[in-house]
Amino acid sequence: LGGKKGLSFEEGVDSYVPYAGHLHDGVQMTTSKVIQIGCLSRNCEEDGKKFCDFTGWPMPPIGETAPYEVTGATYRGEPCYGKIRQCNVGNLDQPQVEFIEPVGEEASYWKEFLDNDGTGFNHIAFQAKDIMSCIKEFEAHGLTCLQA
């Protein structure tokens, strides 16, 4: 969010993030509930463990995103073959803190961000039922979807 290129947004393909709710009238409803805060990492397991040690929260299992053939994800309008390892810390009572580690050399929003801006804060995920409607709504407000 911000960085060298200004404000943009990413729609994540996470098996751990339940998108629920409904976009009724504009962005206000889309942004009514934060469900995740994401951080780019070079080692999600190590960073997740440090965070869990600090907070006292349990260390979750490390996940990896499914391949393009399953997700159908796109990056800058093209098929996205980039994958990530992820550590999603938290519970249903509060937003998750996600540590994201790009895997391999395939192009993705995550790899681009890590290469250009380094580790640290990456995104805030909001509750949404219809992500494509949300993307259109955000684009109407001048934001660009890099990966969906």
SS (H, E, C) 58-121: CCCCCEECCCHHHHCCEECCEECCCEEEEEEECCCCCCEEEEEEEECCCCCHHHHHHHHHCCEE
Residue with tokens 């509750």: 127
Is 80 exceeded by the pLDDT of residue 30? Answer: no
**Distance from C-alpha of 94 to C-alpha of 90, rounded to nearest angstrom:** 7
pTM beyond 0.75:
no
Is 70 exceeded by the pLDDT of residue 13? Answer: no
pLDDT, tens only, 80-97: 999 999 999 987 678 899
Question: Do strands 83-89 and 78-79 pair parallel, antiparallel, or not at all (unpaired)?
Answer: unpaired
**Distance from C-alpha of 42 to C-alpha of 47, rounded to nearest angstrom:** 9
Q: What is the largest CA-CA distance in the chain?
A: 42
